[in-house]
Amino acid sequence: MSSVSIKKERLPQLDTFRALAILGVLHVHSTSFATIESVHLKAFYLINFINVFFRYGTPSFIMLSSFVLFYNYYNRPVDAKLVGGFYKKRMLYILLPYVIFSAIYFIYKMHVAGTLGTGAETYGEMLARYWKNLKEGTGYTHLYFVYISVQFYILFPLMLLLLKSSKWVARWAIPIGLILQWAFVFWNKYDLQYATKGSLAITYLSYYMIGAFLAIHFDKIRGWLMNDSKKLPTKVWFWNWMLWIAWAAVVVVHVWFYQEIRLKHFTANSLWYELLWNVHTMLTAMVLMRVSFLLYRKGPKWLIKMLTRLGELSFAVYLVHPLVLGYYRDTEDWFFSHFQMGTVTYFAWVYGGLICALIVSWIVTQTILRWVPGAWVLLGNVPGSLRKKKKAPPAPAASTDRSV
């Protein structure tokens, strides 16, 4: 059977998942500085909760990326045509925007530092620094996600072959991912000490394996995703509620942990940071799958329509939003020269950054993708709903028409 003939059912619920994930990213990035600045305000507790609770964003994108790839490719024969088409799409729609936005943020950082156009560096020195940022995923705080995605794309055909060739590996994919990820965590902490390990795909292997496992066994988990709790078999119902209870418990502990750390009530080994983050974000990614399908089934049409569009734009919004946040934060002195610093006003200013980043990024990226030719070069694949529709050829005249 040719690879072209196998077509998987489209899952529109995944756009809802993407929307929830990008909202997580925006909440974390908009509160990052505020967790430090607000420790003397009562608003700190709410800001800390938001910052920690929404840390699921990037790991959820990673899990979803793996799910989509394995869902679409697992039952297709791995041949030269499939691998070539796979890499062509990723080169055009992921790698190219990454290279361009790394350059944009490289210039932006020089602008913020006041070194742009001052001759502080030669062009050769700037090019060398840009290349270093590019190959390490350190061009800006959020670009590591695209960088590790490229690493995963490079490894994906090999992972696909491995999981297709071994039912045992496919069955135990999640434990294998956790073991290898944590083996690297310990190795890096006690020996390797690679400074930017967050830019390496091995750090997120458990999420890739969760995505692969869910995709490979999708026919078995479809009922869990598609049905209400009361319609689930008893065993599935039990494990569904265990997932929710475990998730809620870990979120509470994780939020409390960061609250006490930031208030300097105690210090902790870095492995605790890693463990709580890993468990929290893994469980949240699975909860989000359930929530996304539930929302798509039960949510009001206007909400689903809005989340679907945000999900379609999520990659573009991810690339653009730090620029909006950066310029928004420049308004801090102006804002508090007009409003007295306090719990309510500070939180309003912080959350205003989130709303501004969401709305401005949404409008800008949608406008570019809809109206600018070749927008995919900058922002990746253009969603089908934003592509200019080709004009249909005129219908032939009916036989009853007198002009025939």
Decide if 5 is inside a domain.
Answer: no
**Residue 22 confidence (pLDDT):** 98
Residues spanned by the domain of 229: 13-386
pTM of the model as a whole: 0.92
Termini Cα distance of the chain: 46
Res 195: pLDDT: 87
Tokens representing residue 404 in the block: 């025939």
Residue 299 lies in a domain: yes
User: What pLDDT, on the 0 to 100 scale, is given for residue 6?
Assistant: 55
**Given phi > 0 = left and psi -120 to 50 = alpha, else beta, which region is 114?**
left
392 domain residue, yes or no: no
Closest listed residue to residue 328, CA positions, set 357, 348, 364, 361: 357
DSSP characters over 122-153: -HHHHHHHHHHHHHHT-SSTTTHHHHHHHHHH
DSSP 266: -
Total domain count for the chain? 1
Q: Is residue 391 part of a domain?
A: no
pLDDT (0 to 100) of residue 130:
95
Q: Quick one: pLDDT at residue 402?
A: 30
Q: Which residues of the chain have pLDDT under 70?
A: 1-7, 389-404
Give, as one character, the DSSP assignment of residue 202.
G
Please report the pLDDT score of residue 393 as a whole number.
54
In a domain, 401, yes or no: no
pLDDT at residue 5 in the model? 42
**Rounded distance, CA 392 to CA 389, Å?**
9
Q: What is the pLDDT, as a whole number, of residue 232?
A: 92
Query: What is the token pair recorded at 185?
Result: 């965590």
Has residue 226 been placed in a domain?
Answer: yes
Q: Is residue 184 part of a domain?
A: yes
Q: C-alpha angle 267/268/269, rounded to 5°?
A: 140
Sign (positive/negative) of CA torsion 137, 143, 146, 149?
positive
Residue 36 lies in a domain: yes
